[in-house]
Amino acid sequence: MNVKSLVSGDLYSNSEVVRMASELDLPVQLIALLHSRGLTDREVITSFLSPGVSDLHDPFLFTDMRQSVGRILSAVKQKEKILIYGDYDADGVTSTAIVKRYLSSIGASVFCYIPDRLAEGYGLSKDVLDGFLSEHISLMITVDTGTTAPEEIDYAKKLGIETVVTDHHECTGSLPKCVGVINPMRLDGGYPFKGLAGVGVAFKLVCAIEGVRCPDKNCNLIAEEMLDRYGDLVALGTVADVMPMLDENRYIVKKGIERMKTGGTLGISSLIKELSGKKPELNSSTIGYRLAPHINAAGRMGRADRALELLLTDEKEEALLLSKELCNYNLQRKAEEEKILKEAYALIAKKETVQDPLTVLAGEGWHRGVLGIVAARLTERLKSSVILISLDDEYGYGSGRGIEGMDLVQLLEDRAPLLEKYGGHEQAAGLTLKRQNVERFIKEITEDAREKSKFITQQDGITVDMCLSTLDLSLPFAESLALLEPYGTGNRIPQFLLKDVRLEQITALSGGAHTKILAEKDGLFYTALLFNQKTALFPYIQYDDADLLFELTVNEYLGRRSVQLLLRRVLPSGSTLAEMQIEKDQTDLLEKGQIPPLHIPDRNAFVKVYLALKALDKTNENVFSLRRLTKENDLFSTAVCKLILLIFEEQGLMTVEKLPHEDPVLAGDLLSFKLIKTDKKADIERSKLYIAARALSGG
């Protein structure tokens, strides 16, 4: 496969890069990496690696900020009742928690409401507003929502409720007519950074309120004080919502992580302890892949209120119980996710065209709370945009994730007459439509995506930051990469490539859920970890040659620090690539109904393969790697194994379907199967395929 390295040899040895690395006392590889990302000025590099409070912008640069602060402070002074209306994801929950904590601290009378994802969906609801009539609410502050709800905000006004909107979503259509719309995405706005999360905007609101309350304090001092109080909440919501880790977000998240390390909000500290038993190494990856999913899980399962309670409680016992509850929600979320993923793969296998730029699938009763995360997994697997729709009674509820260059919101906007509701970001969107419109919607949006994809520049192969040699895999370089934290959109974790390594050992971790590899090159050995890769589905075997695509990290064990590779992909190379290509050519012929010259399997081979699949079926693991199944049963080749499977299908013993794979040479390696219960006794000797194969081989 074609590999493009962003750090060329010329840049790597550039005299300016070498000089700057010497002056800053940093590895030359790190400076070359920064240069490849457009950071070539020494002051810019220094600021990027060491962000400070001076990187934060004045909150009053937001349009409508001053009048919104004035109205909120008036409500506090007059003892008016204030409603904070949030969203059910981690960004919305942390936004709600910050504004609630702050306003309560200055004496406000505050209520919070987060809609039920499953029963009410995203955004403001007239029914919910009606429910607050008896509370005599006079001011509502929306967080992480509200920009696209002018009708609901007008309705609130008729009920005597004024509104301040704080949000960060795209501003489509007319803005709500209210006290203020504080949103960095406003076309008429003057805020210089568009990448704040909803929680970032909420944080700016409380900074602005504090600034008016304490005019003697300068903007930076107030920001530092607010980050000391709420920084971990801002960091959690910002990372969870996949905001760009650039500009002021770098300092905000950095300070938030520092607060997590020193205790911080009791609920977050309790959840960290529940997940690991101790404080793990905290960074943006820890937040994104461990903390955020548990906060989001509560919302996905319809209990975002419990996540909010965790972030608001100051009672240790309650925090512990809520943390355990969120962990249980996450387990439920995983189960629902796997169920939908399995059904989605089955639908993909039946599609005539698997490689569409946009794949839209609909399923009965899919859990709406996990559609987005399943769509994200499919997007990564298919390398294309994905929309999943759950069919429930009269409606379909969809969630989509997109690839760079394809604007999902624009695609939905072009289908607006078919939709009841839609919104989101360019690469993450949601929708609601009537069941009767689903088929037409899928047809039209798929055709539209095909047309638009003609104008998207397709990348041939994969892109890495650097192709490394064993000389580059040094501990100082691995340690220096920590300076790039926090990672995120716009500042992705560097991806490296090490070519032509030998896989000396392949070991299953956590019962086979993850895979550990001992890799050798130039007589040196490296530990490589492949998380969320079931060893049983890993198509490589001991002594295969491979290219490793990875993130470079540091492992510390018994006081000893060493280089460690966190694998993202394993690509075949050398003799292994040649072997796989030959095997693929043979299995492709079999699928076309042509039988290449093969070693003819004996009865014992058929028995071993059937028993292996039967054992998998008992564990409900109905997915396998063709290559690994071949090797584990000592068969001559994957083509022989595929022939056995095709004969089983012919005999009515099972069905087998291909699942998509990101590597072309391994397309067809990942298979799903279903055993068919039958009283009919299979007769392999009478199989037409078996007879044809024997005749071809002269047997």
Burial 312-344 (b: 16+ CB within 10 A, else e): bbeeeebbbbbbebbeebbeebeebbeebbebb
- Region 575-596: mean pLDDT is 85
Q: Is residue 206 part of a domain?
A: yes
Residue 454's pLDDT is 65
Whether residue 99 contacts residue 206, with contact meaning beta carbons closer than 8 Å, is answered with: yes
pLDDT tops 60 at residue 173: yes
Task: Express each pLDDT in 392-412 by its tens digit.
Answer: 889 999 999 988 778 898 899
User: Number of folded domains in the chain?
Assistant: 4
SS3 at position 94: helix
Whether residue 284 contacts residue 488, with contact meaning beta carbons closer than 8 Å, is answered with: yes
For the chain, give the mean pLDDT. 90
Residue 286's pLDDT is 87
Tokens 């790190």 correspond to 30
Specify whether 115 is located in the same domain as 209.
yes
Specify whether 176 is located in the same domain as 265.
yes
Specify whether 320 is located in the same domain as 249.
yes
Specify whether 175 is located in the same domain as 296.
yes
- Region 676-694: mean pLDDT is 82
Residue 496's pLDDT is 94
d(CA 385, CA 375): 8
Q: Where are the alpha helices (DSSP H) in 132-214?
A: 150-158, 198-213
Specify whether 143 is located in the same domain as 276.
yes
Strands 109-113 and 514-521: unpaired
- Region 498-514: mean pLDDT is 93
| Type of residue numbered 543 | Y
Strands 462-464 and 3-5: parallel
Indicate the residue among 393, 425, 453 that finishes a domain.
453
Specify whether 541 is located in the same domain as 659.
no
Q: Is residue 591 part of a domain?
A: yes
Residue 474's pLDDT is 92
Specify whether 129 is located in the same domain as 267.
yes
d(CA 463, CA 175): 40
Q: Which residue has the higher pLDDT, 667 or 298?
A: 298
- Region 425-442: mean pLDDT is 90
Residue 501's pLDDT is 96
- Both tokens assigned to 91: 């960004």
- Region 78-95: mean pLDDT is 96
- Both tokens assigned to 279: 């404080």
Whether residue 246 contacts residue 482, with contact meaning beta carbons closer than 8 Å, is answered with: no
Specify whether 68 is located in the same domain as 80.
yes
pLDDT tops 70 at residue 28: yes
Residue 353's pLDDT is 60
- Region 50-69: mean pLDDT is 96
pLDDT-above-70 percentage for the chain: 97
Angle at 563 between CA 562 and CA 568, to 5 degrees: 145
pLDDT tops 90 at residue 690: no
d(CA 592, CA 585): 11
Specify whether 561 is located in the same domain as 641.
no
Q: Is residue 23 part of a domain?
A: no
pLDDT tops 70 at residue 352: no
Residue 120's pLDDT is 78
219: domain CATH number?
3.90.1640.30
**Relative orientation angle of helices 638-650 and 574-591, to the nearest 10 degrees:** 20
652: domain CATH number?
1.10.10
pLDDT tops 80 at residue 277: no
Q: What is the DSSP string of 572-628?
A: E-HHHHHHHHHHHHHHHHHHTT-----PPP-HHHHHHHHHHHHHHHHTT--EEEHHH
d(CA 253, CA 245): 8
Q: 672 falls in which pLDDT band (50, 70, 90)?
A: confident
Q: 437 falls in which pLDDT band (50, 70, 90)?
A: very high
d(CA 16, CA 25): 14
Task: Express each pLDDT in 108-158 by its tens digit.
Answer: 999 999 998 877 777 898 999 998 888 999 999 999 999 989 999 999 999
SS3 at position 315: coil
| Type of residue numbered 189 | G
7, 60, 389: which is closest to 212 by C-alpha? 60
Whether residue 586 contacts residue 646, with contact meaning beta carbons closer than 8 Å, is answered with: no
223, 227, 293: which is closest to 259 by C-alpha? 227
pLDDT-above-90 percentage for the chain: 58
Q: Is residue 8 part of a domain?
A: no
Specify whether 529 is located in the same domain as 590.
no
**Relative orientation angle of helices 219-240 and 266-276, to the nearest 10 degrees:** 40
- Region 469-475: mean pLDDT is 91
Q: Is residue 660 part of a domain?
A: yes
Task: Express each pLDDT in 307-331 by its tens digit.
Answer: 999 999 999 999 999 999 999 999 9
Residue 263's pLDDT is 86
Q: Is residue 237 part of a domain?
A: yes
Residue 456's pLDDT is 53
Residue 81's pLDDT is 96
552, 568, 489, 494: which is closest to 240 by C-alpha? 489
- Region 194-215: mean pLDDT is 97
Whether residue 371 contacts residue 390, with contact meaning beta carbons closer than 8 Å, is answered with: yes
Residue 617's pLDDT is 86
d(CA 328, CA 228): 30
Task: Express each pLDDT in 217-249 by its tens digit.
Answer: 999 999 999 999 999 999 999 999 989 999 999
Indicate the residue among 453, 484, 513 that finishes a domain.
453
Specify whether 394 is located in the same domain as 263.
no
Task: Express each pLDDT in 513-547 by its tens digit.
Answer: 899 999 999 999 999 999 988 888 899 999 999 99
Specify whether 199 is located in the same domain as 287.
yes
Indicate the residue among 572, 605, 624 that finishes a domain.
572
Tokens 């460690």 correspond to 564
532: domain CATH number?
2.40.50.460
Q: Which residue has the higher pLDDT, 11 or 640?
A: 640
Residue 189's pLDDT is 86
Whether residue 483 contacts residue 27, with contact meaning beta carbons closer than 8 Å, is answered with: no
pLDDT tops 80 at residue 360: yes
| Residue 365 lies in domain | 351-453
Q: Is residue 30 part of a domain?
A: no
- How distant, in Å, are the alpha carbons of 21, 485, 562, 682 from that of 475? 16, 17, 6, 59
Q: Is residue 524 part of a domain?
A: yes
pLDDT tops 90 at residue 637: no
